[in-house]
């Protein structure tokens, strides 16, 4: 189980989002409220797009060890500004704690991060790996289900049709899982981006999916909280998608419904759609 955060909007120092909020992602690394485990100390990662238009590939900095005591993370967060960044804290369920198992994962200008699990992944791993496009297979570096899900989505056309590719990935996990006698193979909340738009998915084969929230429109937040100067610095199109709210600001957070995905466009347009696996 993990926690993650996707930010899109006014270019901000990463620390504004990662460290400043009352229940920031760094606080969640020690004291998660909604996660299966309260501690997420098995590695972390951040990925950000630089403002320079020639740098289309995001920087991805990942490490082992907890985020809460990592000084380099704090240094970077205090000196790097970005209009679009991902952050992830990991709670391993047994796979190795190593840099290549920390999120976000990257392929060219795409990033991917995940909270959830493929049930009995050990049983399904080989067949899922074999379903990855042979030209992509050798780029898999770690041993997590999350990375294999990313490579499956790339195999199924993530770069052209993100919702379709994720639906096909989910259908593949469902199919392979059930073929191996796994009843409810998939629990997932995923964020992915090409550096312009952000897609976020919430889905579970059965039962309640992992929690997922998105932030309110900045203009409505300003109307609710006219005294919060911080909100005046944010542009209209600023949006956050998070595993759990970063604080208790009334009106700030909305649960993403189950079996749903949302997209946040660079221009601030956003929309929710139903999500279902589709072969």
Identify which of residues 12 and 165 has a Cβ nearer to its own copies in the complex.
Answer: 12
Q: Shortest distance, CB of residue 203 to its own copies, whole angstroms?
A: 24
Spatial strand order of the sheet with 198-204 comes to: 105-107, 110-118, 186-193, 198-204, 260-264, 270-274
Q: Shortest distance, CB of residue 49 to its own copies, whole angstroms?
A: 9
From CA 155, how far away is CA 94, in angstroms rounded? 26
Q: Which of 2, 17, 186, 256 is catalytic?
A: 2
Q: Verify cis geometry, omega within 30 degrees of 0, for the bond prior to 156.
A: no
Ranges within 235-264 binding its own copies (CB under 8 A): none
Q: How far is CA 214 from the centre of its chain?
A: 12
Identify which of residues 140 and 224 has a Cβ nearer to its own copies in the complex.
Answer: 140
Q: Is residue 107 a contact partner of residue 150, using CB atoms and an 8 Å limit?
A: yes
Q: Is residue 130 a contact partner of residue 187, using CB atoms and an 8 Å limit?
A: no
Q: Is residue 4 a contact partner of residue 242, using CB atoms and an 8 Å limit?
A: yes
Identify which of residues 39 and 196 has a Cβ nearer to its own copies in the complex.
Answer: 39
DSSP letter (8 states) at residue 100: G
Binding mask 178-217 for its own copies (x = CB under 8 A): ----------------------------------------
Candidate residues 19, 36, 98, 259; the one interacting with its own copies per rule CB under 8 A: 98
Distances (CA, A) of 64 to 3, 73, 89, 175: 15, 12, 10, 33
Residue 198 tokens read as 């952000």
Candidate residues 9, 21, 41, 277; the one interacting with its own copies per rule CB under 8 A: 41
From CA 3, how far away is CA 44, in angstroms rounded? 10
Active site residue 129: no
Candidate residues 48, 112, 150, 201; the one interacting with its own copies per rule CB under 8 A: 48
Binding mask 51-90 for its own copies (x = CB under 8 A): -x--x-xxxxxxxxxx-xx-xx--xx-xxxx---------
Length of the chain: 279
Candidate residues 53, 134, 207, 250; the one interacting with its own copies per rule CB under 8 A: 134
Catalytic site positions: 2
The residue ranges that bind its own copies (CB under 8 A) are 30, 37-39, 41-42, 48, 50, 52, 55, 57-66, 68-69, 71-72, 75-76, 78-81, 92, 95-100, 121-123, 125-126, 129-130, 134, 137-138, 140-143
């Amino acid at each position: 189980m993990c926690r993650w955060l996707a930010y899109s909007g006014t270019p901000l120092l990463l620390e504004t989002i990662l460290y400043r909020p009352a229940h920031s992602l760094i606080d969640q690394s020690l004291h998660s409220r909604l996660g299966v485990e309260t501690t997420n100390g098995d590695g972390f990662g951040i990925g950000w797009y630089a403002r320079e238009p020639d740098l289309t590939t995001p920087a991805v900095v990942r490490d082992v060890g907890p985020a809460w005591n990592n000084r380099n993370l704090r240094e970077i967060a205090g000196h790097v500004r970005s209009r679009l960044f991902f952050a992830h804290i990991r709670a391993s369920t047994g796979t190795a704690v190593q840099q290549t198992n920390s999120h976000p994962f990257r392929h060219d200008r795409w990033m991917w991060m995940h909270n959830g699990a493929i049930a009995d992944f050990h049983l399904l791993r080989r067949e899922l790996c074999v379903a990855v496009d042979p030209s992509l297979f050798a780029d898999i570096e770690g041993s997590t289900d999350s990375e294999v899900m990313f490579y499956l989505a790339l195999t199924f056309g993530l770069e052209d049709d993100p919702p379709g590719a994720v639906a096909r990935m989910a259908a593949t996990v469902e199919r392979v899982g059930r073929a191996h006698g796994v009843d409810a193979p998939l629990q997932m909340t995923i964020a992915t981006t090409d550096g312009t738009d952000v897609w976020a998915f919430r889905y579970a084969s059965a039962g309640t999916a992992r929690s997922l929230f998105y932030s309110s429109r900045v203009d409505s937040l300003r109307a609710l909280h006219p005294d919060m100067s911080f909100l005046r610095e944010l542009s209209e199109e600023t949006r956050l998608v998070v595993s759990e709210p970063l604080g208790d600001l009334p009106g700030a957070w909305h649960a993403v419904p189950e079996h749903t995905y949302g997209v946040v466009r660079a221009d601030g347009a956003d929309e929710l759609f139903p999500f279902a696996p589709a072969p």
